[in-house]
């Protein structure tokens, strides 16, 4: 992908996604070794051409796919893309930059973040990560999800125990409590599910997957397969 001279935040047209460029992964590898502002500022043009612009093109290429299976979700090349800059205010690691490129799709009108049920993709040296669901539900939403698990357990289990769903994603990811949460008996039929504190599924693919234009369709199929869980979680948190 050729370099662009126009400021990316001012672009209204993005080139077709032809695969994430190997130069982008090479840049991220180098950034891991040189995670400092002077190094990055000298090479910001490379970041914009080989990392940011291809990710924005990927987001645009995803739009018609999402229109088919999750039209209620927003995919915007300017708002869905995560910034490369790390929030170091409360972190012991003061490295200023992330060493992966990522986007997150949330419900239209919702604030971008990690609390709601949505879709996430990131590319880093050595790996592609695709996930969907709720990563960090707050206390109120966690209670709503658990309440819905009890009230509509058949609907929930029909999703997470579906053979095709299990074959693709395995089990629900995330941290779990050691015991069933307060308010539910230890022998509750949904005890193991009630112990969950996070509710997401994911796939990890080799880096080479992202180099092909077919990556758009492969990632979209993963997102589509996760959509029943994403929607169930949204309904639970209403």
C-alpha distance across the termini of the chain, in Å? 43
Query: Domain segments of the chain: what residues?
Result: 8-236
In Å, how far are 116, 158, 194, 202 from 170, measured between CA atoms?
A: 22, 14, 18, 9
CA 37/CA 43 separation, integer angstroms = 10
DSSP bridge pairs for 122: 102, 129
Q: What average pLDDT does range 17-24 have in this prediction?
A: 98
Q: What average pLDDT does range 25-52 have in this prediction?
A: 98
Q: What would the pLDDT profile of 113-134 be if each residue is shown by its tens digit?
A: 556 789 999 999 999 999 999 9
* 74 has a pLDDT exceeding 90: yes
Residue for token pair 């357990």: 153
3-state secondary structure of 212: coil
For residue 112, the model assigns a pLDDT of 64
State what percent of residues in the chain have pLDDT above 90: 86
Q: What would the pLDDT profile of 188-233 be if each residue is shown by its tens digit?
A: 999 999 999 999 999 999 999 999 999 999 999 999 999 999 999 9
Residue 28, burial from CB neighbour count under 10 angstroms (0-12, 13-18, 19+): buried
Rounded to the nearest 5°, which phi and psi values hold at 189? -55, -25
Structure tokens belonging to residue 40: 């990055």
* 13 has a pLDDT exceeding 50: yes
CATH class of the region 8-236? alpha beta
9: pLDDT confidence band, cut at 50, 70 and 90? low
Q: What average pLDDT does range 13-18 have in this prediction?
A: 93
Structure tokens belonging to residue 160: 């997470």
Structure tokens belonging to residue 192: 């193991």
Give strand ranges (E) for the chain: 101-105, 118-124, 127-134, 199-205
């Amino acid at each position: 992908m050729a370099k662009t001279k126009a400021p990316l935040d001012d672009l209204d047209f993005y080139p077709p996604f032809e695969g994430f460029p190997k130069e982008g992964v090479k840049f991220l590898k180098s950034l891991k070794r040189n995670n400092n502002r002077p190094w990055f500022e000298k090479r910001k043009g490379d970041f914009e051409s080989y990392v940011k612009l291809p990710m924005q093109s990927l987001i645009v290429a995803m739009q018609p796919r999402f229109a088919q299976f999750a039209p209620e979700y927003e995919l915007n090349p300017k708002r869905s893309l995560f910034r490369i800059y790390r929030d170091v205010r409360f972190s012991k690691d003061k490295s200023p930059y992330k060493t992966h490129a990522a986007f997150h799709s949330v419900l239209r009108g919702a604030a971008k973040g990690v609390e709601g049920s949505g879709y996430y993709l990131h590319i880093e040296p050595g790996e592609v990560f695709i996930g969907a669901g709720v990563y960090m539900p707050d206390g109120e939403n966690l209670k709503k999800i658990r309440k819905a698990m009890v009230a509509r357990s058949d609907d929930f289990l029909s999703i997470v125990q579906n053979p095709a769903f299990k074959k693709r994603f395995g089990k629900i990811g995330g941290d779990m409590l050691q015991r069933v949460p307060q308010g539910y008996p230890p022998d509750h039929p949904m005890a193991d599910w009630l112990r969950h504190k996070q509710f997401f599924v994911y796939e990890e693919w080799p880096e080479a997957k992202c180099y092909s234009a077919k990556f758009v369709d492969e990632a979209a199929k993963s997102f589509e397969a996760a959509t029943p869980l994403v929607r169930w979680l949204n309904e639970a948190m209403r």
